DNA sequence: TAAAATCATTTGTATATACAATTATTATTT
DNA sequence: AAATAATAATTGTATATACAAATGATTTTA
């Protein structure tokens, strides 16, 4: 059933969530080759590109709560992909060599995901849609 | 931090999820008066408007997996807001009197939520945005 | 400088959601 | 009619996420 055929088609809550779940599912599929969820993947890329980045900074950029970031970091640490270093009340994060070796594969995941949706929507449409999402989000 | 200022601002996964969480939060707030989550609220309204609706039909319309619908129904049953009747392999759902008395309050929640976002965005923009979400969702 | 307030992170707990496997029923095939 | 397949819902388990409370460190205030 298409989202537009649902009883709640006109509701932002419903429509937004349905789309987010669909997109999430596509992303999960794309990140399977590296055995990471999309959130873990994005977080790891952030650490690779910005060694020593702070936990708070990660939370801001990923727009997740600090507690959620802690949970993501825990798992990445278990997998030996990052290390956390606590200095005073701040925590900084570094990628391990294992993670560094993974970088090309991670980039491929991002690329594949981008191609997947931008081919389905058309590059033009998909870019302007993302911009539209920002505008809306900033107004709410 | 605005979503557009994040490192991942250009990514559909990130942008979509960030917006969905924001919208969800607004919706949760609006549904507080009836002490239900938005999903429970929408499900209950569906049952009130269509007594005897089947579980599968609910899943289709809410675009949730059957197992998720089962979980939502369990909770609504605990709260004595619905009853499930199993006939063969099908399950149908009815609202209790308690739920029927709640209907006006439920409608108010939907209305408040709609007003909240359509005032922030403008009625025009918000309606066309929802339509845009459908178009995108159907193409993915 | 001691006490209090603030701040960054973590921990305990709770949520909605989904997947995979299971159960129970109905439909199909042989 | 019996065996098999298909179907609808449920159950067990796992996920990401968030809130509230706790911890530990720094800064401000008295």
Degrees, nearest 5: CA angle A119-A120-A125? 80
Cα gap B69→B93, rounded to integer Å: 11
Mean pLDDT (whole number) for A97-121: 94
Q: Does position A27 have pLDDT exceeding 90, yes or no? A: yes
Cα gap A11→A5, rounded to integer Å: 12
- Whether B2 contacts A138, CB under 8 Å: yes
In this complex, which of B12, B117, B134 lies closest to A126 when CB atoms are compared? B12
User: What distances in angstroms separate CA B128 from CA A57, A72, A132, A133, one per listed residue?
Assistant: 34, 36, 11, 12
The tens place of each residue's pLDDT in chain B, 140 residues long, gives 777 788 888 899 999 999 999 999 999 999 999 999 999 999 999 999 999 999 999 999 999 999 999 999 999 999 999 999 999 999 999 999 999 999 999 999 999 999 999 999 999 999 999 999 999 998 98
Residues 76-105 of B with CB under 7 A from strand D: 84, 86, 89-91
Predicted pLDDT at B56: 95
Rounded distance in angstroms from the CA atom of residue B119 to the C1' atom of nucleotide C4: 43
At A7, the pLDDT band (50, 70, 90 cuts) reads confident
CB contact under 8 A, A117 and B134: no
Provide the shortest C-alpha distance from residue A100 to chain B (in Å).
19
At A10, the pLDDT band (50, 70, 90 cuts) reads confident
Its pTM stands at: 0.90
Residue A90, CB, less than 7 Å from strand C? Answer: yes
Predicted pLDDT at A121: 93
Size (chain B), residues? 140
- The least confident of A5-14, A66-75, B99-108 is A5-14
């Amino acid at each position: 059933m298409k989202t537009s055929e649902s009883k709640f088609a006109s509701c932002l809550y419903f429509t937004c969530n349905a789309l987010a779940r669909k997109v999430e599912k596509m992303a999960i599929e794309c990140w399977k080759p590296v055995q990471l969820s999309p959130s873990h993947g994005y977080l790891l890329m952030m650490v690779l590109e910005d060694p020593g980045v702070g936990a708070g900074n990660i939370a801001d950029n990923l727009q997740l709560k600090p507690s959620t970031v802690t949970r993501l970091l825990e798992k990445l640490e278990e997998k030996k992909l990052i290390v956390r270093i606590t200095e005073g009340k701040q925590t900084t994060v570094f990628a391990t060599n294992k993670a560094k070796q993974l970088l090309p594969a991670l980039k491929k995941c991002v690329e594949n995901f981008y191609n997947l949706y931008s081919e389905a929507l058309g590059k033009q449409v998909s870019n302007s849609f993302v911009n539209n999402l920002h505008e809306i989000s900033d107004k709410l």
